[in-house]
Every structure is written in C-alpha cells, then in structure tokens.
C-alpha cells in the first residue's frame, strides 16, 4: 500500500470520503468531490462525503466518467482506494446508459423501444419484476427480439427501473409543441438598459438542450440564488420557441416571472398568462403556482386544476425550485414525458429524499456551477456567514429540559434571549438593507413590533406585499421582517444583510435559499446571520442546515453570547 500523508482525503471502505479542511488543496478537492458525492457531516477540521448511486448517475449524465473520478481520487488520497469502492464506482457509473428508451424501431404507434447495451444486460434487466410487468417483447425473426413499453408508461418505467438500480437513458425524443416565436430583448423594455445572457447561462442551456440530440431537452440546471436561473429559463424558451408552462412556488414568484418575461423578451401581455387563485389565464406562456395545481376540495376529490397540463400543446415545462416539486406534480410529470422539461434550483437536496424522482421524471443534472466560482468572478456577492449562539435564562432552560423531544426545537427557536441580539444587529446595520427571516409567526410579530418594521407573512395581501417589496427595493424601507414566503423567488437585489431567527429543522435547501436572498452582487458583500440557542436541538439542526453551504465553500464564524 502506498501512503501519501501530504494528500487531503481518505477514501474509506464503506465508500465515505474524508477531507481535511485545513489542507492547501482543500478547495480543489471540495469542488471535485461535490460533483459526484454528497457532504454528510462538516465538523471544523474534517468533512465527510458520501458517494451514492444518484450522485454518481448525475455526474455521469453531466459527462463525468469513471476514469476522471478514480484518477483524481488516487491523486488526492492519502492511501490506496479500497478495491470494493473502486468497483462500486465503476459498476455504478457504468450502468448509466446500459438501458435506453428510443422511438419504436418499427414505428409502432403508442409504443417506445428499449435498447440494451448487451444481451447479458438484457438478461439481467428482464429478471427484474418491473421488467416482467412492463416490458413487451416481440420476435419478428428467429434471431431478433424487440423490447418495448407502452408510451404512456414512459415516466413510471424510468422511475421503477431506477428503484432497482437501472438508470434509463431516455432518447425517445419529444413532441415539438405549438410554435411560439420567443425572442430575447437586447435592452429591457421599460428601463431601456442593455441586457444580455451571460456565458455560463448560455452554457447551461447548451448542456440541457445538447444541440437538439435525443439525449437533450430534459434535466436540471443548478445555480445559486442571484445567478440568474430565470434568465437561463428564458434563454431555453428562446431556443425552443414553443408554448411554455412555467410552475413557480408562490404568487410572488409568479408575478416576478411575469414581469421578467415582459421586460426581457418580445412577448406581449396577450401572450403571457398567469394561473393562480386570483387569475386564471391560459395563454401561450402560462405561469402557475404549485399550490393551485395541487388544490382540491377534499382528499376524495380530483385535483381541480391539473387540466392545465393538458390545456395547451406545451412544448416546454419549466419547474422553478424543482427541489420543492410536490408529489401530485410528480405524478402529473410522469404522464408528460413527451414534453421537454427544465428544472431550476439552487440545490438538488430534497428533505423528503425524492432526488431519484427528480432524476427519473424531470431529468438528470445537466449543469452545476460552484457558488464560490461565481463569487470569485463577481456574479454573486461575497458572503460572510455568522452563527450567533445565545443561552437560555434559567427559567426557560428548565422548561426546555422538561419538554418532550418534539417540543424542544420549538422552544429553542422561540428563545426570548434572541430579541436583544436581533435589535443589536439591526442597530449595527442601520444603513444596510436588512431582511429578518423566521418561521414562527408569533415570534415574527413580536420582532416586527420591537424593530418598528413592516411584517410580511403568507397572510399579507398580495398588493400590500408587493408594495412593501417595492418600497424596500427603492430604499424607502431599510428593514423587513419576513416569514417563509421570502425563502423562494423573491427579487430584492439590494438586500445585503439577512438575519435568520428560526428555521425548518435541518432543512439544507432552506438555508441555501435564505442566503440566496442577499447574493446579488454588491460592492461591500453581504452578511448572513443565524441566531440559535446554544446546546439545544436548534444547534444540532443548524449544523445539518449548513451542510450544503459548507460544501459550497462557506464558513460560519461562531459568536458566543452571554445572557442579558
């Protein structure tokens, strides 16, 4: 065994990879590992990555091969890579593309063909129960077998095959959809300022579309908040020139999409529709919320608005914040595999563990750019991350100690000792544009009163919410207190300080989205504060929340506070 003590990583026999954070080659190793592995733990000196089949298949779909992974692991590792790990990586990456969906070889209507890489692969796959249930066989000659599935089973077939370890490469092609001549403007419509798509945004579209090859036109683009995911989507629309359905997280995001489309493309108001609880417009480009699609009068009733998926000859479906895709939309997406699909997100992490369904039904990861690279190039703001730990006072500490496990996180989140820290930070950043973000409404109402600041929650009327956001953008308001409605798709480019006072347990994607609120480029960078209760469940969950951002290269400075 060769020993290279000066290298930064150790590959363990269980497939986990340990990375020294103080090593001179840490940043290179971190960016390399993030392409095919998931950060699992991040103590100060030693980070642990986990290699999973989905992380490897996403890497394979983005063009990363076995040789590149193993050669770099060997170059970076202190010890030889265990043989079992090398075999697992080779076998897992090698499975991608061994089973392909293609147009039916005889053109039979309503069927899709299946191509196996070898007869041995065909034998292995056909031994699976899902194959026996779904794959149809035909023998036109003694020496040839045609394998196929019903076209309507395209999504569920890929989903179920992935569950048994066979990632299907979908080359069956897509319907073009109704034509729509979508063109990007060279100058914005109302402000008349130059507008152009950045090189990395065009590269994201290119990798997603793959020059119109059968392998292109479906998949996910991963970019940090503030890096212009909406611009990538509009560039894809201009490339495809077809009727498009955009699905967004909430009505504020829908309004933002509508504004951006009218501002940066030559589409007119008569071509862009909004489909929400307030407006029901189905037009060549329609923007809807996930909530309206998943609404039904009761559990026994049908989803009242799923017909939107069938109301136009859509050629492109865009899933904004695809990591939040709700289960009923997954089901609908399984039936829409003949349409091109583009998922947009800052992180593919799903707290419900359904990354495999995104891979199967929306498509594999096509493009991913490290946050720190965009920061170095000036496309997103330099961010300083702080974790401020406050204690309980005696009375609250006793209440916490006697609480049930499920109640402890809430009590720690609502710790009254946080109030003075929030007020201190607000004074320190009085000249900045500050967002105070939290989860618990009673806590937010109290803080808004203490800070004499406006409060925006899910109950805030849409018109009032837009008015407050507008006044924040133009500098009339310097501080806003916001609930989880500000987690996603809110365009507040001048915000440069975010203070997080409570969050959703260990939600890594929420942590990433909240930091994203302050990442638009600024001269003096941005500050992101998380205020937590020391030595509690909240501190444990904060560590989990920070995993994704730690993987992207962000460090949290710790500030220990004493009781007032």
* 126 SS3 class: helix
Q: Per residue in 402-437, pLDDT tens?
A: 889 879 999 999 999 999 999 999 999 999 999 999
**So what CATH class is 376-560?**
alpha beta
CB 204 within 8 A of CB 231: no
pTM value? 0.86
Please state, in angstroms and rounded to a whole number, the distance separating the CA atoms of residues 473 and 493.
7
Location of each CATH 3.40.50.300 domain in the chain: 199-369, 376-560
Residue by residue, pLDDT tens for the chain (564 residues) are: 678 889 999 999 998 999 998 899 998 998 899 889 988 877 778 888 999 999 999 999 888 999 999 999 999 999 999 999 999 999 999 999 999 999 999 989 999 999 999 999 999 999 999 999 999 999 877 778 899 999 999 999 999 999 999 999 999 999 999 999 999 999 989 888 889 999 999 999 999 999 888 889 999 999 888 889 999 999 999 999 999 999 998 888 899 899 999 999 999 999 999 999 889 999 999 999 999 998 888 888 888 899 999 889 999 999 998 988 888 888 889 889 999 999 999 887 777 778 889 999 999 999 988 787 888 888 888 889 999 999 998 888 888 988 898 799 999 999 999 999 999 999 999 999 999 999 999 999 999 999 999 999 888 887 898 899 889 888 899 999 999 877 765 677 788 999 999 988 778 778 888 888 888 888 788 999 999 999 999 998 888 888 878 877 788 899 998 876
Rounded to a whole number of angstroms, the distance between the first and last alpha carbons of the chain is 57
CB 480 within 8 A of CB 436: yes
Could you tell me which of 163, 102, 87 has the C-alpha nearest to residue 131? 163
Backbone angle region of 347, left / alpha / beta, with phi > 0 → left and psi within -120 to 50 → alpha: beta
> For the residues of 467-520, what is the DSSP string, one character each?
HHHHHHHTTS--EEEE-GGGGSS---TT--EEEE---STT-HHHHHHHHHTT-S
Q: Per residue in 468-527, pLDDT tens?
A: 988 988 889 999 999 987 776 567 778 899 999 998 877 877 888 888 888 888 878 899
* 527 SS3 class: strand
CB 390 within 8 A of CB 417: yes
Backbone phi, psi, residue 239, to 5°:
-75, -40
C-beta neighbour count of 294 within 10 angstroms: 16
Those residues whose C-beta lies under 8 Å from the C-beta of residue 312, and which sit 6 or more positions away, are 178, 243, 245, 282, 284, 286
Task: Kindly indicate whether the domain formed by 199-369 is annotated with CATH number 3.90.580.10.
Answer: no
Give all strands of the β-sheet with 218-222 in edge-to-edge order: 272-275, 285-289, 244-248, 316-320, 340-345, 218-222, 365-368
Helices (H), 319-477: 327-334, 355-357, 371-376, 394-402, 405-413, 418-428, 441-451, 462-473
């Amino acid at each position: 065994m060769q020993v290279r003590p000066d290298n930064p990583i150790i590959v363990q026999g269980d497939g986990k990879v340990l990375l020294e954070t103080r090593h001179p080659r840490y940043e290179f190793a971190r960016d390399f590992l993030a392409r095919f592995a998931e950060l699992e733990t991040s103590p100060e000196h030693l980070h642990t990555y986990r290699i999973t089949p989905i992380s490897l298949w996403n890497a394979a779909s983005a063009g990363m091969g076995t040789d590149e992974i193993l050669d770099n692991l060997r170059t970076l590792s202190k010890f030889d890579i265990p043989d079992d790990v090398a075999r697992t990586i080779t076998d897992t990456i090698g499975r991608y593309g061994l089973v392909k969906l293609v147009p039916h070889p005889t053109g039979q209507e309503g069927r899709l063909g299946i191509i196996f890489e070898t007869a041995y692969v065909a034998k292995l796959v056909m031994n699976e129960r899902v194959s026996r249930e779904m794959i149809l066989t035909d023998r036109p000659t003694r020496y040839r077998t045609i394998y196929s599935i019903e076209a309507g089973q395209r999504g569920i077939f890929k989903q179920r095959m992935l569950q048994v370890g066979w990632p299907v490469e979908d080359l069956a092609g897509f319907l073009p959809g109704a034509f729509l001549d979508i063109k990007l403007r060279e100058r914005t419509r109302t402000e008349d300022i130059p507008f152009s798509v950045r090189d990395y945004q065009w590269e994201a579209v290119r990798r997603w579309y793959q020059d119109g090859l059968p392998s292109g036109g479906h998949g996910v683009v991963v970019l940090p908040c503030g890096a212009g995911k909406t611009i990538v989507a509009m560039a894809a629309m201009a490339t495809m020139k077809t009727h498009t359905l955009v699905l967004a997280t909430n009505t504020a995001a829908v309004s933002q999409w509508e504004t951006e489309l009218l501002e940066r493309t030559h589409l007119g108001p008569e071509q862009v529709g909004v489909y929400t609880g307030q407006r029901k417009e189905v037009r060549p480009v329609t923007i809807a919320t996930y909530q309206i699609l998943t609404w039904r009068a009761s559990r026994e009733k049908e989803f009242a608005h799923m017909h939107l998926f069938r109301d136009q000859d859509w050629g492109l479906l865009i899933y904004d914040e695809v990591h939040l895709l709700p289960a009923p939309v997954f089901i609908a997406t399984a039936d829409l595999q003949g349409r091109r699909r583009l998922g947009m997100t800052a992180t593919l992490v799903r707290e419900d563990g359904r990354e495999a369904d995104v891979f199967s039904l929306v498509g594999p990861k096509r493009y991913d750019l490290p946050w720190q690279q965009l920061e170095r190039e000036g496309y997103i703001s330099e961010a300083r991350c702080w974790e401020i730990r406050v204690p309980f006072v005696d009375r609250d500490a006793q209440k916490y100690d006697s609480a049930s496990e499920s109640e402890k996180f809430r009590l720690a989140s609502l710790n009254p000792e946080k109030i003075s820290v929030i007020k201190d930070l607000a004074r320190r950043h009085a000249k900045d544009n500050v967002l105070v973000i939290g989860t618990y409404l009673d806590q937010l109402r109290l803080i808004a009163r203490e800070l004499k600041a406006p409060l925006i929650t899910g109950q805030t009327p849409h018109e009032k919410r837009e008015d407050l956001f507008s006044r924040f953008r133009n500098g009339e308001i310097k501080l806003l207190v916001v609930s989880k409605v500000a987690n996603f798709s809110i365009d507040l480019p001048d915000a440069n300080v975010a203070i997080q006072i409570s969050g959703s347990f260990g939600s890594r994607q929420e942590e990433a989205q909240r930091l994203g609120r302050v990442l638009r480029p600024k001269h003096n960078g941005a500050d992101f504060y998380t205020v937590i209760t020391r030595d509690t469940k909240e501190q444990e969950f904060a560590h989990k929340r920070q995993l994704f951002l730690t993987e992207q290269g962000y460090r949290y400075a710790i500030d220990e506070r004493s009781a007032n």
